[in-house]
Amino acid sequence: MQEDITITRYEPKKKQGLIVIITGNGKGKTTSAMGMALRGCGHGLRTTIVQFMKGDLYSGEWDGVKYLEPLVTLYHTGKGFCGIEGNPFPHSEHRKNAQDALQLIKQIIQNDPPDTLILDEINNALQLKLIDLDQVMEIIKLRPEQMHLVLTGRDAHPDLIALADTVSEVREIKHAYRKDIEPQPGIDF
């Protein structure tokens, strides 16, 4: 039987929005960001998630975040992973969607900024030239001082890494896919 313990809630003396980057070739970048959204709910914080690349195949977080409403909102704005075999959309269409996502992000920041804004797969969108570095820098400049900004995806740009407060790299050591095991619901998507 567990003893009763006193739980203390820590409050920083100064609240400050952080820029967090989750990058690398391993699995778990989006999952980590979703964990931040869940953790934020525990503190009553509002989180908005904008997904740049996902959109052509169902991913469990689309319905999962509905259980976290009204504190978490998710927009999937992409048409799938650009340049991946089987994705039928041309680069120009992926770029248009990414540009529309940037406009949505500006509206969110200007009209009703959340406590945390997660830009899922934005690093990929930048690397694939669906968006430009100066556009990401503009988003960073527009964000309110106390808003956390989380940027996920492989190949984070060195200028963004230099600017960030926290950077984590997810490294693949082993992946079931390499053993010809199909992606599994709840784990991979």
DSSP assignment of 88-134 equals ---HHHHHHHHHHHHHHHHHHHHHS--SEEEEETHHHHHHTTSS-HH
CATH (one of 3.30.360.10, 3.20.20.540, 3.40.50.300, 3.40.50.970) for 19-170: 3.40.50.300
pLDDT in tens, 102-155: 999 999 999 999 999 999 999 999 999 999 999 999 999 999 999 999 999 999
pLDDT in tens, 59-72: 889 999 999 999 99
Where in the chain are the domains?
19-170
